[in-house]
Amino acid sequence: MKKMDTPVRDVLADREMALGPQGKADKALKHWRLSIDGDKVAWLILDRQGESANTLSGEVLEELDKMLAAVDGKGPRGLVIRSAKKAGFAAGADIREFRDLGQPDEAGHQLKRAHAVIDRLDALDIPTIAIIHGHCLGGGLELALACDHRLAVDGAKLGFPEVMLGLHPGLGGTFRLTSLIDPVEAMTMMLTGKTAHAKKAKKLGLVDAVIEERHVENAVRAVLAGKIDRAGGSWKGTAFSLKPARAVAARRMRSKTAERAREVHYPAPFRMIDLWEDHGGDPKAMQSEEIASFSRLLAGRTSQNLVRAYFLREKLRANGKVKADIGHVHVIGAGAMGGDIAAWCARQGLTVTLTDLDPKAIAAAIGRAGALFEKSLHSSMDRRDAFDRLVPDFSGSGLAKADVVIEAVAEKTEIKHKVLKDIAAGARKDALIGTNTSSIRLEVLAKALPDASRLVGLHFFNPVNRMELVEVVAHDKVSKEMLEKANAFCGAISRLPAPVKSAPGFLVNRALTPYLVEAFMLLEEGVSKETIDRAAEDFGMPMGPIELADRVGLDICLSVATMLKQELDGSMPEIPAWLTEKVEKGELGKKTGKGLYDYDSDGKPTKAKHTSSADAEMIDRLVLPMINTCMSCLREGVVGDEDTLDAAMIFGTGFAPFRGGPMCYAAERGHSDIVKSLTRLAEKHGDRFAPDAGWNTENAKQAA
């Protein structure tokens, strides 16, 4: 969000001070403040206590009901609802309460009570205006939709992310949004979970106007004077009031949705399409079915695991909420990873100097950064500022000024040693030295430094702008202060720091490699690459291991697999000779246009349309070695607990989120069944499937 001309909290405090006794809040209320200004306009301010952002808990809605009753009695000219939080209007429902709702009947009862409050707002006989700044998501947007008018402060973002939790809007969004704007646009917004920035929201008819913070009060007066037209309304709404028209559109929606998610894995978007197709245009019927459908989904395994994944994300995010003075990052190595790390840091507000021995590599990295800024920053000023922060550094002079230095050079020990020695000689003594190594032990790299306490692993994943996880790798000589600084750095660039210990491949690559290598073994046996990928997708992976290997880069896969083979010989099969041959020929995957698949000009793999069906054993051959390795990492202390492990695998590899992570899946399937299946595969295919000793400990825990 852009910096406001005057902080929201200061504006509200000034207003309430000016009102005197009339502006005093009800002492029995914690989260809302109600005041009436000199123009007889009621200002209802949401400021949830004890939280950095507003969410709609049961208590917040109960208090809202009381405030609406108070407004009815005071007879104001209009009601304005806004937030006192600088972060935004409201982030949606309080997801913590989802865990307390058991059966669908219980959830349905709570939802009906919540709907009654929102309906009361909708039914007020005075003009109601939502002033939206920052994030306005989920239940927060449903609150705003119940108002007659919505004014968005420039920089606001509006959306319905419920689909990410295995749900659809449950507080009136399905019928209010589809009746307000083009129903197809409304459904697309809810089905994808994508947010609309303020100007796009205005174009859609979701908000009446986009304003600056300093103009809020004048805009409210203009609305009440009838000088700002009410947004919304579309001729398409009339067209789609007929079920045959909705049926045609619904078929297209199902087809598009099926390209991204399978109904068996992610039922929520399909239930939302059913809801609209069956009841679109009938708000009462949609409301009733919305409540029933949301309640059923909330009790389902998919939503429970996706809600779990949400809290796993928050747990990692909390690691980065430590204070550190980080303003300048120096990145050495402008290749695919280093250049993209630099671009992301600049996008997130840090000053970045990027250096490389090859000026062409820096130029290419700046070009990729431009594409990132163009796609992800909606303001030309924001794009210009991001470019200003990303400084091509041909001389390497930024090293001496940086708070954080990251080496992202070739994954070869001797090259990294040379770079790290240069960093130690030229960097500030209090600068964090980060290495983006994907597999080399930190103890090995630390030998190049006179003070190893400053070295921390900062293992980003490709593509940097989309993969949220960063493995923060500790070793026996690292200082606590530098680990905290590494976590703070991840937080500053909106990444999820996952603490792991130095070990071969760390956590993610060590667990991912057996999955990829087993896919290579299946190729050796003559199974088509499309069938192998389909097996993984049937399990719920976002993409199959063959396509993933191409995306990671076959050179990286070979390097990591070779290292793990040397370090952990008993658990790794022989690496196929053809993989080495492909790497030597420069067929490295997507980045070279050819790997295990061929790639078109848009970077999409060329796949055979018809594939053989994958059986359960093939899925187990792919997935169980990964899960078995996760248990090894847990037993060896590479990762501290199951939650961190599951979070790292979901956000670092895309492990089927609806399954809640590898260890969650193992618990739901049953550890004894995991062991039996691994034993059966070991007898048939070799010792690489031998169950890890950690399963015996976990089975004993479960039995106890």
Domain stop point among 299, 316, 345: 299
* pLDDT, tens digit, 9 for 90 and up, residues 42-56: 999 999 999 999 999
Answer for the pair 221, 172: CB distance below 8 angstroms, yes or no: no
* pLDDT, tens digit, 9 for 90 and up, residues 325-352: 999 999 999 999 999 999 999 999 999 9
Cβ neighbours of residue 390 under 8 Å, at least 6 residues apart? 342, 343, 346, 352, 354, 366, 369
In a domain, 583, yes or no: yes
Residue 697 has pLDDT above 90, yes or no: no
Share above pLDDT 90 across residues of the chain, in percent, rounded to a whole number: 83
**Please, which pLDDT band fits residue 17 given cuts at 50, 70 and 90?**
very low
Count other Cβ atoms within 10 Å, centred on residue 429: 7
Of 53-62, 90-99, 314-323, the range with the lowest mean pLDDT is 90-99
Tokens of 299: 């009790």
Cβ neighbours of residue 353 under 8 Å, at least 6 residues apart? 328, 329, 330, 331, 391, 393, 397, 398, 399, 401, 402
Residue 228 has pLDDT above 50, yes or no: yes
In a domain, 554, yes or no: yes
- Token pair 């429902």 is at which residue? 93
- pLDDT at position 40, please? 94
Mean pLDDT across the stretch 374-396? Answer: 94
In a domain, 206, yes or no: yes
- pLDDT at position 648, please? 98
Q: Is 265 a catalytic residue?
A: no
* pLDDT, tens digit, 9 for 90 and up, residues 248-296: 999 999 999 999 999 999 999 999 999 999 999 899 999 999 999 999 9
* pLDDT, tens digit, 9 for 90 and up, residues 20-40: 333 444 556 899 999 999 999
Q: What CATH number is associated with residue 16?
A: 3.90.226.10
d(CA 421, CA 433): 11
Rama region for 387: left / alpha / beta (φ>0; ψ in -120 to 50; rest): alpha
- pLDDT at position 701, please? 57
- pLDDT at position 167, please? 97
Residue 8 has pLDDT above 70, yes or no: no
In a domain, 215, yes or no: yes
- pLDDT at position 702, please? 52
Q: Which of 142, 300, 148, 272 has its CA nearest to residue 220?
A: 148
Q: Which of 182, 164, 286 has its CA nearest to residue 650?
A: 164
Domain housing 595: 509-637+670-703
- Catalytic residue, chosen from 162, 213, 468, 471, is 471
In a domain, 423, yes or no: no
Of 85-99, 326-340, 350-364, the range with the lowest mean pLDDT is 85-99
The DSSP call for residue 611 is -
Q: Is 587 a catalytic residue?
A: no
Answer for the pair 31, 59: CB distance below 8 angstroms, yes or no: yes
Q: What CATH number is associated with residue 616?
A: 1.10.1040.50
Alpha helices per DSSP H over 401-524: 413-426, 442-446, 480-492, 508-524
Burial (0-12, 13-18, 19+ Cβ within 10 Å), 3 = exposed
- Catalytic residue, chosen from 133, 135, 459, 671, is 459
User: In terms of pLDDT, which residue wins out, 277 or 439?
Assistant: 277
Residue 390 has pLDDT above 80, yes or no: yes
Amino acid at 122: D
Domain stop point among 299, 327, 360: 299
- Catalytic residue, chosen from 35, 54, 487, 509, is 509
Please list the residues that pair with 459 across neighbouring strands: 471
Residue 2 has pLDDT above 70, yes or no: no
**Please, which pLDDT band fits residue 192 given cuts at 50, 70 and 90?**
very high
- Catalytic residue, chosen from 234, 438, 487, 632, is 438
* pLDDT, tens digit, 9 for 90 and up, residues 449-469: 999 999 999 999 989 999 999
In a domain, 654, yes or no: no
Q: Is 462 a catalytic residue?
A: no
Domain stop point among 299, 322, 343: 299
In a domain, 212, yes or no: yes
- pLDDT at position 97, please? 86
**Please, which pLDDT band fits residue 102 given cuts at 50, 70 and 90?**
low
Q: Which of 7, 63, 74 has its CA nearest to residue 33?
A: 63
- pLDDT at position 234, please? 65
d(CA 360, CA 278): 57
**Please, which pLDDT band fits residue 602 given cuts at 50, 70 and 90?**
confident
- pLDDT at position 574, please? 81
Q: How far is CA 174 from CA 65, 147, 683, in A?
A: 22, 15, 53
Residue 240 has pLDDT above 90, yes or no: no
Residue 237 has pLDDT above 80, yes or no: no
Alpha helices per DSSP H over 442-595: 442-446, 480-492, 508-524, 529-539, 545-552, 554-567, 577-584
Residue 690 has pLDDT above 60, yes or no: yes
Cβ neighbours of residue 40 under 8 Å, at least 6 residues apart? 75, 76, 77
Domain count within the chain: 2
Give the mean pLDDT of the chain: 92
In a domain, 368, yes or no: no
* pLDDT, tens digit, 9 for 90 and up, residues 134-158: 999 999 999 999 999 999 999 999 9
- pLDDT at position 18, please? 32
* pLDDT, tens digit, 9 for 90 and up, residues 108-132: 999 999 999 999 999 999 999 999 9
Q: Is 685 a catalytic residue?
A: no
Rama region for 516: left / alpha / beta (φ>0; ψ in -120 to 50; rest): alpha
Share above pLDDT 70 across residues of the chain, in percent, rounded to a whole number: 93
